[in-house]
Chains A and B, each alone.
Chain A
């Protein structure tokens, strides 16, 4: 009797087949559980290992033992005439067949019954944006932009652009300085660092190593309102990017040793941007003075004692709450189609479990009741003067008017403030103005670097005089045209690159609730009038709404 026929007789081959089919089904089920209900990935690895070890054991068992009407017996001890191996074999065949049918049905069923809506329509032809210069019309919303939501709440927008074989991903996380409170200031920014520091599957450093080896690069920034992650990569790295992004969102490791190293890195960043840079020192103090209640008063990088003291628990809670898919918006722009992004997102990102929405930030900064002042004494050859006023939130209609007004006042060397303060009177070496509104009302911010030995009080008086002029007399038609042209040119400039497209689309989606608002910018610029600008000036540039910050050398040092 050959070994093979004896293997057949003892049903070893059928057992092997049954084992294989059952294992395959088990693996299929587990891999879907890992995706669906957030079962850890190690579980599937563990089961795979057990199944592999079990295989030879099962075969040896099948060879050695035989099922008889009176129970298990060693095969060599069974009387061949009494053997029921044939019947057992038929049962095994039936079991294989049932399991195989179940498996095939599951796989087919999965194909036939998608978990959510079918893929978006076929990719539309990419049409260059039609230039709009006359401000009378909306720019057309490019038809090739597609957006969809995964069932877990993750919002995805795709802007195909095939000019270069590259792709940009912006992941907007709705977490920033605004979501912090005493004890954990700086934690959103700290997460911006921790997100690169390893997962349960990847050691610290492997995220970046894999991304860069595939040709990609990344960065991230944190603001008062958002933490934004950026990946720039060749099309060929698309799948790698999905693997890496889903891994860190699903299985971030918050290793206590790594946390300690990263604290010192962040401290170094704080020394770089704030402690050893006079602008940073004053900026931090001015914001902390202008706000008394709203969390915009805290520096995004965090107060030093908070950087030193947040706990493992703080970090875990923050991650769970704010890095939930329902708190993210991802923008892809570049050499991709919506279909492939949809399919990859379904595979890699839809398994991330939804969480309860983050707590709402309800604190409203109370109306300021009189001007505030803050002085920073520091070693300085050139004094700094910052003057700020409470203004609007990003989505407010007034915000565009203020943006135009600030362009007239301080954008470029033809602006009012530059011409007067820098060119004509030489009070300042430089002057800048911007507004910082986000989800909540921000500040209109004026910053001047004074000429060496300059008098901050005199400079302040001159600045306020110029602002009062705008309140009383408004702006000229020529100035309004210039400001509109500056904005329309920067609108087009921002849409030159796939990076600019992703950034602009994401910011409009997150702050205004609809990315299509981006394309209304030309029309809105056209609708703004000189009266609108004067009205916003009158509303914002009030002394009782003002905080003044000065940085200068201590007086005894300055007088030497």
Chain B
């Protein structure tokens, strides 16, 4: 039942995509250009189908080009299209036949799946269906959208229908909701506690790409910053948790002075005048998780989500691996300030005004989220334990630096041994999050 609803939503999205696609006049020459290729296997749904950037060049009746990482050798006769997919060694790994109709191409064929890990024999070919959809051309000049959310969603899922379609280079001015109390302008839906604004469908972003999100502006927009006042069990020892005597009426409602960028705690006997600097951050920022995965808003993973990093602030740029066409960016759960690890289960929970721009790095993706501030390159490691998170964050940072700075394993080890820093960002949600980071000042001394 649920699946059917998700499918219906997804098909609506596809229909929407198709509607925006500029209709091409049919004709041989029109096959040349950029397309989005979809290959759907026997057990696939639209969420698990494989999407690739496709470039076709038609010369006479001959077709050449790229389908994702594969080369293309094909032919065109009238409206009938035949495409062979060739791997790096020139071996045919797929044969697709189809017809061109109303500016799109679709058909069927066979594709040899990748070998299972450790296997020495090629698996049998799968029967597939396939189609090519026109790649949306970006507008000549980037646009700025004022997006006033009509609803907030509480589940990370590719089935969430896009709230807005945008292109690389576009800017969005919008707001987030802190998930408590009524909002006069919008409703919330989904199962998660941390609700998000969006998702934003970024045209041209496909699996295997990286979505770049630059937070241009991020400011808390209300007086109240609600905060818990009991330590989470992951942050303190059992002995501490058992002997702690909490005041059930403790008032953790900070008053935020947006002008002065400070927050003040209501006076308590021991903290009669505590005022701290605000550093408004986005607790949640995400793309849709891989395949048919669904997570509550409080969860986090390789897709981001409730990362709760206190440097995801104004000026920070985030890099997400893309798992679905359009990436499906969402933001929410602003905190006026927060220490490391979210040790009481919250920051200064608030709503915020957000301005962001997006970009797409085509054909490069890392396993998890990355970020960049003015001082650091940052790698996130989200997993089921802090030690795993440390290892994942470090390994991804090492791979990133090796890729971008042409370092070998020894050079990158030396560098990380000298200057890497860790932050423990999330201790209290369903998954743990540690970041590994290196100062950009040191990277600036490397010869690429």
Same assembly: no
B residues sitting closer than 8 Å to A (CB atoms) are none
